[in-house]
A and B are shown apart, each in its own frame.
Chain A
Amino acid sequence: VIDTCARLYIVLLLAAAACTSACTSVEPWQRGNLAKPQMTDTDPLQTSAREHVYRSREGLAGGASAQGGGCGCY
């Protein structure tokens, strides 16, 4: 468990380190692609419906957010 966590950490820290040099070059007018609908959640209502299913069917899905959702214990 700790191993997996640590590995994740390292990967992300490397990514973060890599970005500090790379991302400084992205000017506001160069962010057109980042603003495309493809880069966001295209169907947030479906996402919330899916997450509701995962939350009520899986032991640890849904993470740790209090967004209601009810018992789901059927």
Chain B
Amino acid sequence: VRTCDLLLKSRHPQLPDKKPLVRLVEDAIGALQSALLRSRAARAKRSVAIASSGASAPLRALTLAAMALPGMAYAAETEDAQIQYGHYSEGGRNYWPGPKGTVQQPDPLRVDSLQLGLGVRLTDRNKLALHFAQDTWSGATPILSAPEAFLTVSGASAYPASDSRVNRALVPYGVGPTGTRVPQPTVWNVMTAASAETRRQADATFTHEWDNAALSIGGGFSNEPDFRSYFGQASGRWDFNRKLTSVNAGASYTSSNVDANLGAPVDWIDYGKYANALSGPSVVGSVQNGGVVQHFVGTRSEWAANLGLTQVLGRNTTASLGFAYAHSAGFLENPYKLVLLAFADPNTPPFLFNGLLQTRLFSVAESRPDTRNQWTVSTKLSHYLDFVDAAVHAKLDYAQDDWGIRAGTAELDWSQGFGRGWLLTPRVRYYTQSSADFYQPYFIWAQRAPVNASGKLNFDRVPAQYYSSDYRLAGYGAVSAGMSLTKRFARGIDVQAGFEYYEQSGRFKYGGGGVDTFADFHSWLFNVGLALDLTQSSPVPDEMREYHADVQPDEHAGHGQHDDHASHAGMLAPAGVMSAHMMDKPGDLMVGYRFMVSHQSGRMLHGSDPAGDDAIAAYGCGAIQCTFAPSTMAMHMHMLDLMYAVSSNINVMAMLQLSDMEMTMRPLPGTIGGGGGAHDHSAHPSHNTGGVGDTSVSALLKLFSTSTHEVHAGLGVSIPTGAVNEKMSNGDFMDYGMQLGSGTWDLLPSLTYTGFYRRLFWGAQASGTYRLQSNNQSGYALGDVVQSTAWGGLQLAQWLAGTVRAIYTRQGAIRGQYNGPQTIVSPADVPANYGGRYWDVGIGLSAALPGRAGNRIGFEWLQPVRDDVNGYQLERNGTAWLNLNFVF
């Protein structure tokens, strides 16, 4: 210092004499101290602010808990969200048309699916990913396969016969067109139709990241009417060698419960092997709606482990190698598949059937081993090609299990960039597998049928322990080709669309020897999706002021609004109000997800009074006697909301819907419905439908706006994209309430007022649905709807608002009726029993999410207070709305 002093002194003679540098240092320290003091004072001031807002902390905690979104802490920094709709449909299944072509062509299988994902960064190193998936499927699938000679027709359905002939080489001989026995060895599928069913899956994964490693744990459940499973997993990743190499390992466990409803017992299916089994899978009977229904019940568990290595091979190349092992135990059968067991009696006297052997046939549930061990090796090579801006991915997998299946998969993806955020990925895939040891299209033995004294099959003496005719266990190959198109827009919005065509056939099996052509089929898969980078939904500078308001509690009453316009009050409107707010900033885009669940159960109403079963039976179905009444009705609807601000006065919106419904019925006492299992419904305790609903596009126009009040009008059109021809497995229309759309083009006008004063806000809306057509393709039109609602709300905290509201809804009865076959059994089948006048009250909460001012999550419960229904209808229990919005 002294040396420096001398130097300084010599260069800056104007500096004071004594120890200039020391003084400088002292000054610096002094400045630092005072700065520290100032910041301490500021911190003290801030702690006052926190203390004053601390009063609402328990409320905040309670609210977040009530919203049942673990991890959605206020401080959470949301990262990404995805929504995808997929449609899968099958075709080309070879079914037996019958000798006269009278067997009804089965509806092909189709599946509508929805996937939702949300990734949240809880802290810098902790991430939570939430995922929800839903599939609704309907249509026909093969139940068994058999040679033509072993099949017979009853009405419009094919069944296996109980008796047929084969020659000494076990070639099946059936009755030909001329009435004589001819060889009929061609194998066909027997199809069975299933009404719609919905599966839902929710899972969550928590990940902690280090600089060179990550650990994650997760779990979830999948629920469908016949299959429920819970699963958990833990996995880790470790990067080393300067992040050129990473190793990953994981383990998972799944526990499943199977409860397959087999319907009423039929005499041609023998479940004897599993009838009331003491251990393992079991077929048990239960009484339902006065008739016996069989259930196939059991449990399954699965352990799996995997180990993988990924290596950067160069500046354009990566490769990975993985090993996996899985052990399954328990109910591994497919509960819906049957096997035809044939026993050709070699001692049939030659003179009896012209030398053919008498053959007894049994249709039985399949039988698989109780355990399965499966090993997989997978490899992947990815290479980036600089000169075409594309990457090629080659995947090669090999798997085998101890059931005798060996499978190989090869896939090639070409991911081509086109600039401006466009990416096209065409893909081809080939899969081949050998057959399981116990797979055959049908089983035949040259021996007398092992039957017991009552003529039933004695399963202990069946020559095979395991037998299955499930095509999944056959030897075949599958070829598929498809592509995926992704466009990345500004503001972190990705739009994705893709398709894949898939064809499975015994001819494609590697090395030949695949299953016969009866097992061939093809399928299409379409998907469209939206992926949002939520970090792009960040505040713009003038909105930052809201955040600084936190440290000045005195000023912040009603602060949430005064940065914005009166439209801010609309933003706080209850979750169940559509088109409640407009965006002010031209070019803003809002992406919203809404979920609605509504439930009806309990009493039947006539007008606003409870209706007795006698009255329902006598008057509920018009001139016909009602034999059933609905006992529960549940509806779930997922909606994707897109809103774009063309200008501060005009916003345009589009809304896409996916819905599913379930209705259960009860027999009415004293009618044939209550009399026994004779009626079709006894085997169908519930009806389900699901799929795409109607699509609406609309525009909002601001009519009047001050700093505190706003009025806007909306006009929309509902496009009939939802099906109105949902039918039961026998081809009859389901009741009107189960259809997925209106089937008509509808007009959707609305008028909305919103306002606020300090922490209070309020609003009112009148809206309607007017059918522009007098009937849809199925012959009817839903009634027009008029709804009026008014709400009031309070900003409970800077980030939290609560609302109460009242709703009055009036809907007309259905006009017209089905123009196709329909069996009228319950009031829900009659057009006059739709519509009415409904009064509800709603209570709601909404909370701000990080980022832009419009990023919110809202919840509302609507409680019915009075129903005045047309005709006879089931009472309503209530409706819940969940609403998630992000502004970009």
Contact = CB atoms under 8 A, between A and B. Distances in A.
Partners in one complex: yes
Interface of A: 1, 4-5, 8, 12, 15-16, 18-19, 22-26, 28, 30-31, 33-34, 36-39, 42-46, 48-50, 52-54, 57-61, 63-71, 73-74
28 contacts: A16-B311, A19-B312, A23-B241, A25-B314, A26-B315, A28-B243, A34-B315, A38-B391, A38-B417, A39-B382, A39-B391, A45-B115, A46-B529, A50-B500, A53-B502, A57-B523, A63-B326, A64-B304, A64-B306, A65-B304, A68-B254, A69-B201, A69-B222, A70-B199, A70-B222, A71-B227, A73-B334, A74-B197
B231 A67 contact: yes
Interface string B381-402: 0101010011100001111110
B637 to A, nearest CB: 20
B84 interface: yes
Contacts of B305: 64
A34 B326 CA distance: 32
A42 B407 contact: no
B126 interface: no
Interface string B210-245: 000000000011101011010111000000011110
Nearest to A37: B423
Given A53-B523, A58-B433, A58-B472, A68 B316 contact: no
Given A53-B523, A59-B472, A71 B226 contact: yes
B377 interface: yes
Contacts of A23: 241, 244, 311-314
Given A39-B318, A68-B220, A58 B478 contact: yes
Contacts of B256: 71
B325 A74 contact: no
Contacts of B423: 37-38, 42
A45 B391 contact: no
B405 A34 contact: no
B398 A63 contact: no
A14 B335 CA distance: 46
Contacts of A26: 244, 312, 314-315
A18 B311 CA distance: 11
B306 A71 contact: no
Interface in B535-549: none
Contacts of B252: 65-67
A19 B311 contact: yes
Given A46-B496, A68-B229, A74-B336, 9 more contacts: A24-B244, A31-B312, A36-B384, A45-B82, A46-B498, A59-B433, A65-B324, A70-B201, A71-B224
B787 interface: no
Contacts of B117: 45
Nearest to A58: B431
B431 A68 contact: no
Contacts of B233: 65-67
B409 interface: yes
A43 B315 contact: no
Nearest to B376: A63
A73 B336 contact: yes
A5 to B, nearest CB: 7
B671 interface: no
The 6 closest A-B pairs by CB, nearest first: A64-B326, A66-B252, A38-B391, A71-B227, A64-B324, A60-B407
Given A49-B84, A74-B137, A60 B425 contact: no
A38 B409 contact: no
A53 B529 contact: no
A63 B501 CA distance: 21
Nearest to B137: A74
A60 B224 CA distance: 22
Nearest to A69: B222
Nearest to B399: A60
A52 B547 CA distance: 44
Contacts of A70: 135, 199, 201, 222, 224, 227, 229
Given A49-B115, A63-B306, A54 B384 contact: no
B115 A66 contact: no
Interface string B781-814: 0000000000000000000000000000000000
Contact of A33 (B221, B243, B316, B407): B316
Nearest to A33: B384
Contact of A74 (B109, B302, B324): B109
A1 B400 contact: yes
B656 interface: no
B208 interface: no
Contacts of A8: 377, 379, 396, 398
B425 A64 contact: no
A45 to B, nearest CB: 4
Nearest to B333: A73
B433 A60 contact: yes
B253 interface: yes
B58 to A, nearest CB: 36
A63 B244 CA distance: 26
A22 B241 CA distance: 13
A63 B399 contact: yes
Interface string B285-328: 00000000000000000101110010111111011010011100
A3 to B, nearest CB: 11
Contacts of A1: 400, 406
Contacts of A61: 407, 409, 431
B505 interface: no
Contacts of B336: 73-74
A65 B233 CA distance: 9
Interface string B46-90: 000000000000000000000000000000000000101010100
Contacts of A16: 309, 311, 321
A62 B488 CA distance: 29
A46 B499 CA distance: 9
Interface string B405-438: 1111100000111000001010000010100100
B325 to A, nearest CB: 6
A48 B109 CA distance: 20
B663 interface: no
Contact of A53 (B326, B375, B525): B525
A65 B311 CA distance: 22
B473 A22 contact: no
Contacts of A28: 242-243
Chain B CB within 10 A, most for which of A25, A28, A30, A52: A52
Contacts of A36: 384, 391, 417
Contacts of B304: 64-66
Contacts of A22: 313-314
A57 B400 contact: no
